[in-house]
Structure 1
Amino acid sequence: MRAIPVASAALLGVGALASCAPGVVAGHGDHYVMSVGYDVLPSTIAAGGQVSLLVDRDTSGCRGRVTVSSEVFDTVTIAPRSTRATALVARDATPGAVYRVTFMCGGLGAVKDLTIAGGRPAGPSRVPGGVHAGAGGSSSGFDLGDVALGAALVAGSLGAAYRFTRRRTASDGA
């Protein structure tokens, strides 16, 4: 009868670890989107400009042909032994708009954003002196106290799970 508490503790641990994983995989239609190993350079360009479409064969795991598409340029194919191609951005692309660029290799795809330079960005208006962002993953806000608190919470959770799975009841014959 100990299988249920052990399974519950295991699922709780897996859920906690999964919630901490980086968001490199996201749902996109019927495919999973792997954002690692694919890139559009530059990521911001003027209408009518030329972008490089890159695939890192080692990081992406893609060994076959890569099809790259977007509503702002014609579909491009990167050959299996190649790592790059170029695309010409439409001259009538909307300044400030962000277009989705989709890389497809087999049944997997990656999505990157391509911003058209000039004009105001699409979406909410900017607030002068707004939020400082972009430091994610860097050591700019590293606080040893936060790390220690997180470690203590994880250790406490594991200890409690162990204690509850090892606890005996009177019906166990203890």
Structure 2
Amino acid sequence: MTELGRHFGISAVHCGHHLSQAGLRDKDGLPLPQALDQGYAYKRPEQNANRSVLWNYGHCSGILQQQGLHSIGEQRLVEQWADLLEALHVGSPAILLTPQEMADSDMPQHLRDCVNQCLAARGSQLRICKKDTQTGQASGTEAAMGESEERNRLQGELSPGVPIGCGLSVVT
């Protein structure tokens, strides 16, 4: 339980609460029969009941992810993407790539919502639109705008609240 909690950046107690909420543990922290039957836990035949339970790391990780928890590694990856996109958003004449283009080419699709939440929590106005898997283009009306509008935005010529090119929008 401790190792599983570490993977998600939570304590073993907190991890246990999540497993209880998922209906896998009883009030004493012991696995319920369905948890044993479905392979979420294994109970060794020992005298000390608390130390005789082994929880399946892979199965329980899935439960914690379904409850909205993210691994420490994924949290770091989201923060790194947010750092990179903010740096691209600030812009430089030497950088020919927009944050949306970088996200479309390299960012795993499943991270987009988390990266946008991270950017919002930091107070950034930058948002990345979801990529349409059929066309390969950023979805939404912002995606239809041209490169010149994106260059103008990078130079600070558009005001907040105006949709900007390449799937990005400034939020006010």
Q: TM-score, normalised by structure 1?
A: 0.22
Report the structure number with the largest CA radius of gyration: 1
Higher relative contact order structure (alpha carbons within 8 Å, sequence separation ≥ 6): 1
TM-score by length of 2: 0.22
More strand by share: 1
